[in-house]
Amino acid sequence: MMILFICMMILGGAALYFATKPEAGFGYKGLAYKALGKKVWCFSNRLCGILLLIVGVGGSISCFALNQPSDRRFFWAGLLAALLCFLISDLVTIQRFKNK
């Protein structure tokens, strides 16, 4: 279970690192990138990285607080939280940049 949250934190850190280097080509290119183009790529990556870091740290803390549950529901909740991070970052990015 802890591996999932560590992976989320690593992905969040990588998204934040590569958000400053758009020429590297590595990063999250989701709905906002498809809809609005390359101008929103850095913002979308930063937001997604921050959300993944928050969910990863929060999941790690709750994993220790609940004495490391091995329940499948906890695993699926972590994966759903990761998917929601991507969706929220896309929706916020589209809302912020759609009129610009």
> What pTM was estimated for this model as a whole?
0.85
Residue 88 has pLDDT above 90, yes or no: yes
26 versus 43: which is more confidently predicted? 43
Report CA-CA distances (Å) from 83 to 51, 64, 76, 88: 11, 22, 11, 9
**What percent of the chain is predicted at pLDDT more than 70?**
93
Residue 25 has pLDDT above 70, yes or no: no
Residue 39: Cβ-neighbour burial (10 angstroms; 0-12, 13-18, 19+): exposed
